[in-house]
């Protein structure tokens, strides 16, 4: 049986992002459970702010097409999601919106249908980004994804990393890794 393929990225491009630092632990959990993980940086796929007039005039941006192909070639999504004002980040929402757009005869929902998503978040607040995850979960569900009921939220994130940006506490590392492992296991076994 082929290894489960997971596409992993953070909803932030900020160099010191707590979520970009948390994501590798979730990726390691998925890899340890036998998944093949593609880790991408959204900074490598810049997109304009979603604009239907621009889309009608110019078509789908090249980076949106590249991301659509990556989404379609992976069975799972592993997302590290910052929370901005209790909601999804503009970067993540814009990315999900562009990837959802119809391209030629292909329906926009194609890159999301039957995908399984695992979610982690990190925030310096005491809720660990859970309010933002609620919005991400809602958006992915509307798009056709199955979102794992488990998620991992790291609060007080500014205290969680050492000077090199590595996670200090094994409990934090294992909490994020468990989501990656759960996603890999679901993709392998189909058991939620």
Q: What is the CATH number of the domain that holds 160?
A: 3.40.50.360
Beta strands 116-122 and 146-154 are parallel
In what side-by-side order are the strands of the sheet with 116-122? 36-39, 5-10, 76-80, 116-122, 146-154
C-alpha–C-alpha distance, residues 32 and 188, integer Å: 13
- Condensed to tens digits (0 to 9), the pLDDT of residues 117-158 reads 999 999 998 889 999 999 999 999 999 999 999 999 999 999
C-alpha–C-alpha distance, residues 39 and 148, integer Å: 19
- Are 76 and 38 in contact by the 8 Å Cβ rule? The answer is no
**Other CB atoms closer than 10 Å to residue 4's CB: what's the count?**
22
- Condensed to tens digits (0 to 9), the pLDDT of residues 48-102 reads 999 999 999 999 999 999 999 999 999 999 999 999 998 999 999 999 999 999 8
Structural element, H or E, at residue 39: strand 36-39
Domain that holds residue 157: 5-189
| Residue of 80, 73, 56, 75 whose CA lies nearest to 176 | 80
**How many structural domains compose the chain?**
1
The pTM (predicted TM-score) of the whole model is: 0.94
């Amino acid at each position: 049986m082929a290894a489960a393929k997971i596409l992993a990225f953070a909803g932030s491009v900020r160099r010191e992002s707590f979520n970009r630092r948390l994501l590798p632990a979730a990726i390691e959990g998925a890899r340890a459970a036998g998944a093949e993980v593609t880790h991408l940086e959204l900074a490598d796929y810049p997109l304009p702010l979603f604009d239907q007039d621009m889309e009608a005039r110019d078509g789908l941006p090249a980076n949106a097409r590249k991301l659509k192909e990556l989404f379609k070639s992976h069975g799972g999504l592993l997302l590290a999601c910052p929370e901005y004002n209790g909601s999804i980040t503009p970067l993540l929402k814009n990315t999900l919106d562009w990837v959802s757009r119809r391209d030629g005869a292909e329906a926009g929902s194609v890159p999301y249908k039957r995908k399984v998503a695992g979610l982690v978040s990190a925030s310096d607040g005491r809720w660990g980004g859970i309010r933002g995850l609620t919005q991400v979960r809602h958006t992915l569900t509307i798009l056709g994804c199955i979102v794992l009921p488990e998620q991992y939220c790291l609060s007080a994130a500014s205290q969680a990393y050492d000077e090199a940006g590595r996670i200090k506490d094994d409990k934090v590392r294992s909490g994020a890794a468990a989501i990656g492992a759960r996603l890999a296991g679901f993709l392998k076994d189909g058991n939620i």
